[in-house]
Chains A and B, each alone.
Chain A
Amino acid sequence: SAVISQKPSRDICQRGTSLTIQCQVDSQVTMMFWYRQQPGQSLTLIATANQGSEATYESGFVIDKFPISRPNLTFSTLTVSNMSPEDSSIYLCSVVSRGVQRAFFGQGTRLTVV
């Protein structure tokens, strides 16, 4: 199994500012993903964080709004830029290890934009 530390667990931010969320895994993993869960909704994939290269974004999500870094196999960050109240959501980091056909999730970051 993989243990994921996601920080911060929650934050309240002013509109127009940016927040960077960190995801640290205790072992090297193949894939790292970032999901958004809007209030009362399901999880939607934002992007796949690729080590050493640009992230792969899903339709409706762009790098300028959600820049992602993945400098190594155990760490990734997601930044929510120029925030508006519509960005208020839970953001979750997920990882998949090589040879293990299951995903592990961080505890999520609850973001409120005021």
Chain B
Amino acid sequence: AQTVTQSQPEMSVQEAETVTLSCTYDTSESDYYLFWYKQPPSRQMILVIRQEAYKQQNATENRFSVNFQKAAKSFSLKISDSQLGDAAMYFCAYRKNYGGATNKLIFGTGTLLAVQP
């Protein structure tokens, strides 16, 4: 069975600084997707960034980038120039690609990010 592990329950960063959130996963599949979701106090789950396993290039979305190490099954999220609005719970998630959209998301336990002014 696939599992997703986030070993940092809480992290803190100063405004304008850079922070990296860790995520590891376990799977025997070779074709899958990895995601980082943000959940602010409003509860709305917001997709931050997505990585396709067969793409070697790390995904980037503005201030957010990932370090995808497929052999090590590691998928960390780097937030640059942190802003107060980045404060939220961050979830790493996995979904295998076999069967397309019918596959469920498997979530890690989350990392609560605090941004200090």
Known A42-B91, A42-B109, A101-B33: A107·B104 in contact at CB below 8 Å: no
Query: How big is chain B's contact interface, by range?
Result: 10 to 19
Q: For A41, what are the chain B residues with a Cβ–Cβ distance below 8 Å?
A: 109
A-B contact pairs, 15 of them (CB 8 A): A42-B110, A43-B45, A43-B107, A45-B105, A90-B43, A92-B43, A98-B101, A100-B101, A101-B33, A101-B52, A101-B101, A102-B35, A103-B35, A103-B105, A105-B44
Q: Residues of B with Cβ closer than 8 Å to A?
A: 33, 35, 42-45, 47, 50, 52, 91, 97, 101-102, 104-105, 107-110
Which of A94, A103, A108 is packed against the most chain B CB atoms within 10 Å? A103
Q: For A45, what are the chain B residues with a Cβ–Cβ distance below 8 Å?
A: 104-105
A residues 1-36 in Cβ contact with B at 8 Å = 30-31, 33
Q: Is the CB of A102 within 8 A of B47?
A: yes
Known A42-B91, A42-B108, A43-B107: A31·B45 in contact at CB below 8 Å: no
CB-defined interface of A78-108 with B at 8 Å, one 1/0 digit per residue?
0000000000001010101110111101011
Q: For A96, what are the chain B residues with a Cβ–Cβ distance below 8 Å?
A: 101
Known A31-B102, A48-B102, A96-B101: A42·B107 in contact at CB below 8 Å: yes
Q: Is the CB of A43 within 8 A of B91?
A: yes
